Structure 1
Amino acid sequence: MTTQPSAAFNLRAYQPQDLSALVALFQASVSQLTTQHYDTAQRQAWSPEVADMLAWQTRFAQLELLIAEDGCAIAGFIGFSLDGHIDLLYCAPSHARQGVASALYAAAEQRLRAAGVRELFTEASLVAQAFFAAQGFSVQQAQTVTRGAAMLPRMLMGKTLERR
């Protein structure tokens, strides 16, 4: 018998009191998990040491957010909108490559399918590109985002959901 990746994680909806924990997870993820693809200046531009909490609060308010917990620790989160946009998908460095992203993505896709969404898209970092490709996304366009003086390469990726 195989265990589903989500079996070890409790998935729940975002609560406003999660804000600082999710921003801290994002910062740790960017600083620790992206070093093979982005240099120090790029990582600092992507995730400044002092986060704009009001900007994060506003961004989170515009998304459907799911959080994966392992016991009482937040293992990761995904943010998406009902137009098919996967906006955020981050795992805590301590939970990387343990099925957290897969569990979060599967739950988000299930919700999007239930809402009638047929096309998904994301702007994947170079780190996340392989993950999204494994979920059936394909690269539509290479992009570059400018954050301050830093240029951050990423990939616009898309996926058509087959009717079930």
Structure 2
Amino acid sequence: MLTLIPYHKTYAADVAKLCHLSIHDIDPRLYSTAEKSAWSFAPRSANHWQRRLSNSKAWLMLTSDSVDGAETVCGMINVETRFNSRGYIDSLYVAPEHQRKGIAKQLYSTLEFWAREQQIDELTVDASKVSKAFFEAQGFKLRHRSYQEKRGVVIMGYYMYKPL
């Protein structure tokens, strides 16, 4: 069973694991081992994710174990709310075993609905090679290629936008 909830700090450690595992599961034809290690050398601390997500608007998708009912984070998305970066989608991750099941779309739809309620006029994202097609399917357009340096490795992506 899946449940979409607003981010809560009790899930920060789960988010850290989710993001790290999702990055390292990327097909090596898209990003090399060196690029993935630079992107996420090890899971960031729960404290890192708590600070990062508490300064934005974030949602989590939880899945419940059918046997004991334990909930784990299988997806997350967040959008910046501060003036200079308002409407910037900072992160979207789905656990490898839950990909291609509509979780990213549910998370994104929730974010877009919220953004429209907040009268945000444009969403932007630095999409990865993995997520570019997803964001195009949601109506995003390419503004330009983007490059981020992490641990001395340049990782290519796509800066995209969607007027609301």
Instruction: Normalising by structure 1, report the TM-score.
Output: 0.88
1:79 aligns with 2:102: no
5+ residue gaps, structure 1, are 1-7
Q: Contact 2:16–2:43 (CA<8 Å) still a contact in 1?
A: no
1:109 aligns with 2:112: yes
Structure-2 residue corresponding to 1:58: 51
Aligned to 2:159, the other structure's residue is in SS state: strand
5+ residue gaps, structure 2, are 65-70
1:148 aligns with 2:148: no
Q: Contact 1:34–1:43 (CA<8 Å) still a contact in 2?
A: no
Q: Contact 2:14–2:72 (CA<8 Å) still a contact in 1?
A: no
Structure-2 residue corresponding to 1:118: 121
**In structure 2, how many angstroms separate the alpha carbons of the residues matched to 1:49 and 1:86?**
22
User: Which residue of 135, 138, 141 corresponds with 1:138?
Assistant: 141
Aligned to 1:36, the other structure's residue is in SS state: coil
Aligned to 1:126, the other structure's residue is in SS state: coil
One-letter identity of the residue aligned with 1:103: Q
Structure-2 residue corresponding to 1:92: 95
Q: After TM superposition, which residue ranges in structure 1, 4 or more long, deviate above 6 angstroms?
A: none
Computed over aligned residues only, the root mean square deviation of the Cα atoms, in angstroms, reads 1.4
Q: Contact 1:123–1:156 (CA<8 Å) still a contact in 2?
A: yes
CA deviation map 1:98-134 (0-9, x unaligned): 1000000000000000111121101111111010000
One-letter identity of the residue aligned with 1:114: E
CA deviation map 1:63-108 (0-9, x unaligned): 1110011222322000112321111100001101110000000000
User: Which residue of 2, 23, 30 corresponds with 1:9?
Assistant: 2
Total equivalences in the alignment: 154
**In structure 1, how many angstroms separate the alpha carbons of the residues matched to 2:73 and 2:6?**
12
One-letter identity of the residue aligned with 1:58: R
Structure-1 residue corresponding to 2:41: 48
**In structure 2, how many angstroms separate the alpha carbons of the residues matched to 1:113 and 1:134?**
18
Residue 148 of structure 1: CA displacement?
1.4
Q: Contact 2:123–2:161 (CA<8 Å) still a contact in 1?
A: yes
